[in-house]
Chain A
Amino acid sequence: MTATVLNKRPAYQGAIPTVLFIAAIVLSTLSLQIETGSLNPIAILDLAFASGTQTLLLTHGWVPRFVIALVAGAGLATAGALFQHTLKNPLASPSTLGLAGGAKLFLTLTTLYMPGALEIGQDIIALLGALAVGALVFALARRSGFSPLVVILTGMIIALYCGAVTTALAIIHHEWLKSLFIWGSGDLTQDGWYILGPLTIKIAFGMIIAIILARPLEMLNLNDHQATALGASPARLRMLCLLIGCWLTAVTIAAVGIVGFVGLAGPAITRMIGIRRLRHKLIASALFGALLLCAADQGVQVLSGHLGTLVPAGALTGVFGGPLLIILIRQLRANSPPSRSTTAIPTKDRSLRQSRMILGTCVLLAIAGAIFIGRDVNGFWQLQWTNDLQTVWPWRGPRILGAIAAGTMLAIAGTVLQRMTANPMASPESLGVSAGAAIGMIAIIFAIDAPSTWLQISGATIGAFVTLVAIFVLTRKSGYAPERILIAGIAIGALFDGFIAFLMAGGDPRAARLLAWSSGSTYGLGFDRATILAIVAVTALPILPALARWLNLFPLGPITTKSMGVDLSVSRGSMLLFAAILTAAATLLVGPLSFAGLIAPHLARLAGFRHALSHSIGAAFIGAALMVSADWLGRMLFFPWEIPAGLMAAIIAGPVLVWLLMRIGQTSS
């Protein structure tokens, strides 16, 4: 089940660790020279035992920073290796379970509403947050015997949810959270040994347990029946493995902040050079993780002197990690797709006609509510009619129209992608097109002093187009294999996250605005753009019946589909293009608000829409209703403050998805 290595180019594969090692040494030497002003070992030793500011900065700044990069990198990479082993997914990483999101949410809430509690220490609050999320994932996944699919989905949704709440708060209380943005971008600057000491003990503890238990944990490589036949309990083994991984992740995040990519790359390099035994894998992953983070952090120190702004290592690993991920994963071939949506989702015994009626009523109610219920000038709730409505209509109307259109398009794109990839985690965001659009927009915002809306849209269009071409080029050879597409999307998403973390840490005021846009806002939408959006959405509908046959076959797996006479490349390529255009159009006008695209297909299926065509149209209605209500709540709940619709959709729909998952868990156990 685990991904295997193509041992075609051993020389090339052996080169990566060597290059990594050399890079770490060269960059460390450079930064040591910058720090001490010389490279003569005797002079450096003299300086280390002298007294004065320079010595202090060396012995209590540079040295602990060097060591903490190694320790944190090793901890994260070991955790990543454990998660990948347990979840049988080469894309699993310490961020899969959403621990970092939980830590950040706890810190944000404490900073804003209980600043006194920060006295017990930022690291303790972060640790509590991470462990709380870990406990929640465990509670939800326990019933399914820690089935990898349920763990991944639960973790992903909780991560999304925590991220949505945190971002919503960050938009409103931007100034108060400045220091948190630095924590969130993973800067490793040290001012003494007091963080490093306890961290080393905690990480060593976790790693030693993992290495001791590596032999029994190896059983997870077997399938559950084989493992049970050998007398092991797969559920218990998985729990143990996840528990150690969570501990390593939580203590590292608490101490140094969010450093994402290392936990994915360390184990990936290990797999590339062909290490098979779990114990060796863990040790090698720790080594590569340590080298990676060390090289990145030393590089940051060399770089930041020239840039005049803080370059946190965590953000940098995201920016460089994205492209690296694509290169690394090209070497891998998963024997089975990471997860399949073959898990049956139970549906209530209710006729389709009834579902359709309920759904139609919901959509109409949502639209009517969004149109007529508002707040008056003093903030009091009001049923707005005639004059009151006329005043706000030019600002409210386009947003409602835009939300309906965007919700529809994203839900259709999501349904197509989930069916095509047979992966319930697929969403319009996982295409990477929205992240590409966002990067294009960032480029425009930062290149030009005060760009107009249309200029920003052009930037985003170019970004989306370039990304789309890149995805097609990168996945063409594999016949647009779903795993490749999702990986490319994740990589581009990581790149974008890195950029945002970097901007937020630097404290640039433009970052807050970008944050609001990137969470999917219909703010400032005029009837001109909303109508374009509506036209694209309406145009998409008649294309659906043409895709219906493919969409019905694809969830059965590529072999079945092929045996029914479908050309995989052509069909995947066209569906990819269709989904990408819908996503891009929605993203360009209202931001990358894709949560509706993730959840609407699930809800539609739950409501009983099984056939591809009815599934996608049901999802479209649910997406529209969700986005309209989210947009309305976002505008009205904290009036005059606004929460972007994309975030609000995540906040409303997150609990629904978790409830849905618990039902999956119940039936599959």
Chain B
Amino acid sequence: MHKPIHLYSRRSFLRLVTQASIISGCGYALSGLMAETTSAAVPKRIVIADGAISETALAMGIVPLAMADIPGYQAWVQQPAVPNRVINLGARFQPSLERLAQLKPDLILTSSFYANQYASLRDLAPIEKIDIYSSSKTPFLNAVTAARKIGDVTGHPNAADRLVAETAARIEHAARQLSTPKARSVLITSMLSPRHMRVFGQNSLMQDVIAQLPIQNAWTGPTNHWGFATVSIDQIAQYSDAAMIAIEPVPDNVERAISYSPILSELPPIKRFGLIKMPPVATFGGLFAAGRFADLLASSLSDIAPGNDEVAP
């Protein structure tokens, strides 16, 4: 009853199929051409698609050709600084494959968390998977192993030894500073709103560092795979002896809320020690972050003025 039908005839349909198959055939041929890659003995063109590994490598003096999410790194990790010449790859879980292909890397460093997202990259360059946060729940030990592995695969084993020794020294120094701390126990938090925060505990790098210091992590509650729990403010009220440390950046509205929110201002840890802010440190970091955290923790806890005299020595 309608004219258009005969315009989609069998013949035109077949023509379409033929054309489509030719196009995809060309695609195959081209992809076959592309598959050959050469691998050098000592990798020079290294790209990194994981925050903790970037941080560890930079701390070891290994500057990658490119790394993922540089703006994010600069905001949330900061140290060690990223040189300007490092190229941005985009999101960590979706690094731009086209840019990666154009960079022609000879080694890709990433964690298996991200690596399984782009298994096809193996055609382009060897992938080295390095995991710090895993089900073994020993991030500090994993971070040491990761540093050594990064050293081995990039041909800088001495740099790894140096970083491990430096970190140990920093933690030891922090432990000495904290021999007479203002507070015996701490809550390490990342504030999200006046009513919500992440609190770090078991399976976090911070927990492993605190375990090497003469203080305690007050949060012994359950945490997730990444070592933190998202909690509401009432859940930390019971820790009256603990100092509450908020890793920066702290949202503006949190500080304002202290003046008008009855619970926030009366919260025992805040009432006693105030809200102690700590400069940014990678909360899912590697070995360098561990050392930096120990430093920052020691200086935070020695700077604070106790609001109450009866603090246990």
Separation in Å of the B7 CB from the closest CB of chain A?
A: 8
Q: Does B311 lie at the interface of the complex (its beta carbon under 8 Å from any beta carbon of A)?
A: no
Closest to B229 in A: A308
Residues of B within 8 A of A171 (CB): 91
Q: Are A449 and B198 in contact (CB under 8 A)?
A: no
Separation in Å of the B161 CB from the closest CB of chain A?
A: 29
Q: Are A398 and B27 in contact (CB under 8 A)?
A: yes
A451 and B115 alpha carbons, distance in the complex (Å): 10
Q: Does A613 lie at the interface of the complex (its beta carbon under 8 Å from any beta carbon of B)?
A: yes
- Contact string against B for A residues 36-62, beta-carbon threshold 8 Å, 1 for contact and 0 otherwise: 000000000000000001001100110
A642 and B223 alpha carbons, distance in the complex (Å): 31
A391 and B90 alpha carbons, distance in the complex (Å): 19
Q: Are B4 and A640 in contact (CB under 8 A)?
A: no
A541 and B134 alpha carbons, distance in the complex (Å): 47
Among B13, B16, B99, B234, the residue within 8 A (CB) of A61 is: B234
Given contacts A176-B75, A375-B98, A507-B198, 18 further A-B contacts (CB under 8 A): A53-B266, A53-B268, A56-B262, A61-B233, A187-B195, A187-B232, A352-B4, A377-B99, A391-B34, A392-B98, A397-B31, A451-B116, A507-B228, A508-B226, A513-B117, A527-B27, A611-B5, A641-B96
Residues of B within 8 A of A531 (CB): 24
Given the known A-B contacts A60-B263, A401-B24, are A310 and B101 also in contact in the complex, defined by CB atoms under 8 Å?
A: no
Q: Are A53 and B262 in contact (CB under 8 A)?
A: no
Q: Does A198 lie at the interface of the complex (its beta carbon under 8 Å from any beta carbon of B)?
A: no
Q: Which chain B residues (87-111) contact chain A, with CB distance < 8 Å? A: 87-91, 93-104
Q: Which chain A residues (109-149) contact chain B, with CB distance < 8 Å? A: 115, 118-119, 122
A521 and B28 alpha carbons, distance in the complex (Å): 22
Stretch at the interface among A188-196, A199-207, A230-238, A594-602: A188-196
A625 and B252 alpha carbons, distance in the complex (Å): 45
Q: Does B230 lie at the interface of the complex (its beta carbon under 8 Å from any beta carbon of A)?
A: yes
Q: Does B38 lie at the interface of the complex (its beta carbon under 8 Å from any beta carbon of A)?
A: no
A506 and B98 alpha carbons, distance in the complex (Å): 32
Q: Which chain A residues (370-421) contact chain B, with CB distance < 8 Å? A: 374-377, 390-398, 401
A53, A508, A545, most chain B CB atoms within 10 A: A53
Closest to A523 in B: B94
A413 and B221 alpha carbons, distance in the complex (Å): 49
Given the known A-B contacts A310-B196, A394-B101, are A542 and B266 also in contact in the complex, defined by CB atoms under 8 Å?
A: no
A63 and B24 alpha carbons, distance in the complex (Å): 65
* Shortest beta-carbon contacts, A-B, top 5: A308-B222, A640-B96, A640-B90, A191-B263, A395-B97
A595 and B222 alpha carbons, distance in the complex (Å): 40
Q: Are B34 and A189 in contact (CB under 8 A)?
A: no
Separation in Å of the B134 CB from the closest CB of chain A?
A: 7
Q: Does A282 lie at the interface of the complex (its beta carbon under 8 Å from any beta carbon of B)?
A: no
Q: Are A191 and B233 in contact (CB under 8 A)?
A: yes
Q: Are B225 and A175 in contact (CB under 8 A)?
A: no
Separation in Å of the A519 CB from the closest CB of chain B?
A: 11
Listed by A's residue number, 26 A-B pairs whose Cβ atoms lie within 8 Å are A57-B234, A57-B237, A61-B233, A119-B253, A176-B75, A189-B234, A374-B98, A375-B99, A377-B87, A390-B33, A392-B98, A392-B102, A395-B101, A398-B27, A450-B112, A510-B113, A513-B117, A516-B93, A523-B117, A524-B97, A524-B119, A639-B90, A640-B89, A640-B90, A640-B98, A642-B90
Q: Does B30 lie at the interface of the complex (its beta carbon under 8 Å from any beta carbon of A)?
A: yes
Q: Are A377 and B28 in contact (CB under 8 A)?
A: no
- Contact string against B for A residues 149-184, beta-carbon threshold 8 Å, 1 for contact and 0 otherwise: 000000000000000000000011011101100110
Q: Are B2 and A309 in contact (CB under 8 A)?
A: no
Q: Which chain B residues (198-251) contact chain A, with CB distance < 8 Å? A: 198, 221-226, 228-234, 237-238, 240, 251
Closest to A639 in B: B96
Q: Which chain B residues (60-87) contact chain A, with CB distance < 8 Å? A: 72, 75-76, 87
Closest to A396 in B: B98
Q: Are B72 and A175 in contact (CB under 8 A)?
A: yes
- Contact string against B for A residues 523-538, beta-carbon threshold 8 Å, 1 for contact and 0 otherwise: 1101100010010001
Q: Are B234 and A541 in contact (CB under 8 A)?
A: no
Separation in Å of the A564 CB from the closest CB of chain B?
A: 13
Q: Are A60 and B262 in contact (CB under 8 A)?
A: yes
Residues of A within 8 A of B195 (CB): 187, 189-191
Q: Are B221 and A308 in contact (CB under 8 A)?
A: yes
- Contact string against B for A residues 307-342, beta-carbon threshold 8 Å, 1 for contact and 0 otherwise: 111100000000000000000000000000000000
Q: Are B97 and A53 in contact (CB under 8 A)?
A: no
Q: Are B230 and A507 in contact (CB under 8 A)?
A: yes
Q: Does B296 lie at the interface of the complex (its beta carbon under 8 Å from any beta carbon of A)?
A: no
Q: Are B31 and A377 in contact (CB under 8 A)?
A: no
Q: Does B165 lie at the interface of the complex (its beta carbon under 8 Å from any beta carbon of A)?
A: no
A443 and B297 alpha carbons, distance in the complex (Å): 38
Residues of B within 8 A of A187 (CB): 195-196, 232
Q: Are A56 and B31 in contact (CB under 8 A)?
A: no
B99, B226, B252, B257, most chain A CB atoms within 10 A: B99
A394 and B26 alpha carbons, distance in the complex (Å): 12
Interface residues on B, range: 35 or more
Among B31, B87, B226, B284, the residue within 8 A (CB) of A527 is: B31
Residues of A within 8 A of B96 (CB): 635, 639-642
- Contact string against B for A residues 485-522, beta-carbon threshold 8 Å, 1 for contact and 0 otherwise: 00000000000000000000111111011001000010
Residues of A within 8 A of B266 (CB): 53, 56
A614 and B112 alpha carbons, distance in the complex (Å): 48
Q: Are A614 and B8 in contact (CB under 8 A)?
A: yes
Residues of A within 8 A of B119 (CB): 452-453, 524
- Contact string against B for A residues 602-625, beta-carbon threshold 8 Å, 1 for contact and 0 otherwise: 000000011101100100000000
A175 and B282 alpha carbons, distance in the complex (Å): 12
Q: Does B120 lie at the interface of the complex (its beta carbon under 8 Å from any beta carbon of A)?
A: yes
Residues of A within 8 A of B98 (CB): 374-375, 392, 395-396, 635, 639-640
A531 and B25 alpha carbons, distance in the complex (Å): 10
A548 and B1 alpha carbons, distance in the complex (Å): 12
Q: Which chain B residues (19-40) contact chain A, with CB distance < 8 Å? A: 20, 23-24, 27-28, 30-31, 33-35
Separation in Å of the A663 CB from the closest CB of chain B?
A: 23
Q: Are A392 and B13 in contact (CB under 8 A)?
A: no
Residues of A within 8 A of B99 (CB): 375, 377, 639-640
Q: Are B27 and A401 in contact (CB under 8 A)?
A: yes
Separation in Å of the A193 CB from the closest CB of chain B?
A: 8
Q: Which chain A residues (336-384) contact chain B, with CB distance < 8 Å? A: 352, 356, 374-377
Residues of B within 8 A of A506 (CB): 224, 230
Q: Does B194 lie at the interface of the complex (its beta carbon under 8 Å from any beta carbon of A)?
A: yes
Closest to B17 in A: A538
Among A182, A512, A639, the residue within 8 A (CB) of B193 is: A182
Residues of B within 8 A of A527 (CB): 24, 27-28, 31
Given the known A-B contacts A175-B72, A542-B13, are A309 and B97 also in contact in the complex, defined by CB atoms under 8 Å?
A: no
Q: Are B230 and A309 in contact (CB under 8 A)?
A: yes
- Contact string against A for B residues 41-56, beta-carbon threshold 8 Å, 1 for contact and 0 otherwise: 0000000000000000
Closest to A512 in B: B93
A11 and B8 alpha carbons, distance in the complex (Å): 58
Q: Are A191 and B194 in contact (CB under 8 A)?
A: yes
Residues of A within 8 A of B166 (CB): none
Given the known A-B contacts A57-B237, A171-B91, A639-B96, are A391 and B102 also in contact in the complex, defined by CB atoms under 8 Å?
A: yes
Q: Does B152 lie at the interface of the complex (its beta carbon under 8 Å from any beta carbon of A)?
A: no
Among B192, B229, B233, the residue within 8 A (CB) of A179 is: B192
Closest to A455 in B: B116
A56 and B103 alpha carbons, distance in the complex (Å): 59
Q: Are B116 and A613 in contact (CB under 8 A)?
A: no
Closest to B133 in A: A509
A584 and B135 alpha carbons, distance in the complex (Å): 33
Q: Are B101 and A391 in contact (CB under 8 A)?
A: yes
B4, B89, B222, B233, most chain A CB atoms within 10 A: B4
Residues of A within 8 A of B130 (CB): none
A189 and B197 alpha carbons, distance in the complex (Å): 12
Separation in Å of the A171 CB from the closest CB of chain B?
A: 7
Among A115, A376, A508, A510, the residue within 8 A (CB) of B252 is: A115
Given the known A-B contacts A526-B120, A639-B99, are A394 and B20 also in contact in the complex, defined by CB atoms under 8 Å?
A: no
